[in-house]
Amino acid sequence: MATLIERFLNYTGFDTQSSETTGTTPSTAKQMVFAEYLKSELESLQLEDITLDERGYLFATLPANTSRALPTVGFIAHMDTSPDMSGKDVRPRIVRAYDGGDIVLNREMDIVLSPRQFPELLDHRGEDLVVTDGTTLLGADDKAGIAEIVSAIAYLQEHPEIEHGKVRIGFNPDEEIGEGAHHFDVALFGCDWAYTMDGGEVGELEFENFNAAAAKVTFKGRNVHPGYAKGKMVNSLLVANEFAGMLPKEETPEHTEGYEGFYHLVGFQGEVEQTVVSYIIRDHDRTRFEERKACMQRWAGIINERYGEGTATLVLRDQYYNMREKIEPVMHVIDIAFEAMKEAGVEPKVKAIRGGTDGAQLSFKGLPCPNIFAGGLNFHGRYEFVPVQSMEKAMNVVVKIIELIAKKY
């Protein structure tokens, strides 16, 4: 399995952080640098139908090694890393046979990865953990997924005795800013179904996710000299705070879990004249999701009743929907993944994603696409890590899925 880990460590050397501000696809040119590198790697593996478009979508084919007509399955991962923390000059290291104690990531900066804050570490005692130096994220989200897919394809090439149909792989930009599936050409990809390798802990198998929307509320104020402001001033900062106070205090990310939805305040910028407040809205239940959006409209209306029409302007934008409604009619894609995990020695953990994946949007574009674990934990920050053994299991699951499809059809 050395090649799998070597691949992953090599990939972390590419800075592929995406950006919400550029308005381009890919959102950052450095993602295309990584895409070009991956294209050359796929060419060296002698895959077929390799395409890389101007937006950074990279597709390739492992041709079938049988004349039997089999379904075409796809495996997808994203190339970008989160805007939440730098992915430049990542310095990974492997902690061999983790002993269950604190891991000093950076002695000079006193940055420690500890099971006291991250108890999930204890589930991986005795394993080899890839960690950061505490100054960047690691990039296992989702370069671990890319490494697992490429390594699985290479493994199948090295073992021609494993019968398989046509396999498509796809690597895309900008998943971390919610745009990874926007320009994904489902028809060109040409699969019966696919899997994103973008989950976390070993065994995760996900075909439910949040319904998601973004809300931006602009509050208009009226600024006059504070010494003479009585009856005249409208402080948009205070009005925005008043609006925020209308939202249920227990329905925020820090107070919710499982299937519980939330409102999440993600931005607050302003002065007396104008304040802009940004939220994301999440709920697994579609009816409750629509109710949450209606509540935002009602609260904005209350502000306008109190301070005058036009004081609060709400803009709502749906981002993605729960893929479950698209997966339930084709549950065999879940059954195959479930069985593949069992054969790879992994206990499946079916759970709802408290977030979204490219697979959710792709499912609504006609490509059923549940999500499978890639093995990483603590994504988007300096405490991110991935067990080597988890990556090996994820790679084996990919191989087993491809193998099972040939056995079942």
Residues 269-279 have a mean pLDDT of 97
Classified by CATH at the fold level, domain 211-320 comes out as: Alpha-Beta Plaits (3.30.70)
Q: What is the DSSP string of 208-261?
A: E--EEEEEEEEEE-B---GGG-TTT-B-HHHHHHHHHHHS-TTSSGGG--TT--
Would you state the pLDDT for residue 5? Answer: 96
Q: Of 133, 148, 175, 384, which one is the catalytic site residue?
A: 175
**Domains of the chain, residue spans:** 2-209+322-408, 211-320
Domains 2-209+322-408 and 211-320 share a fold: no
pLDDT at 2: 60
* pLDDT over 80 at 400, yes or no: yes
- Please say if the pLDDT value at position 272 is more than 90: yes
* Domain at 2-209+322-408: CATH code: 3.40.630.10
Q: What is the mean pLDDT of residues 121-135?
A: 98
Q: Identify the band that residue 89 occupies on the pLDDT scale cut at 50, 70 and 90.
A: very high
DSSP annotation string for 144-175: HHHHHHHHHHHHHHH-TTS----EEEEEES-G
Indicate if 305 belongs to the active site: no
User: Could you confirm whether 175 is annotated as catalytic?
Assistant: yes
Q: Terminal CA-to-CA distance of the chain, rounded, Å? A: 30
pLDDT tens per residue, range 321-335: 999 999 999 999 999
| Residue 12 pLDDT level (bands cut at 50, 70, 90) | very high
Query: Among residues 80, 174, 192, 204, which one is catalytic?
Result: 80
Model confidence at 407: pLDDT above 70: yes
SS3 79: coil
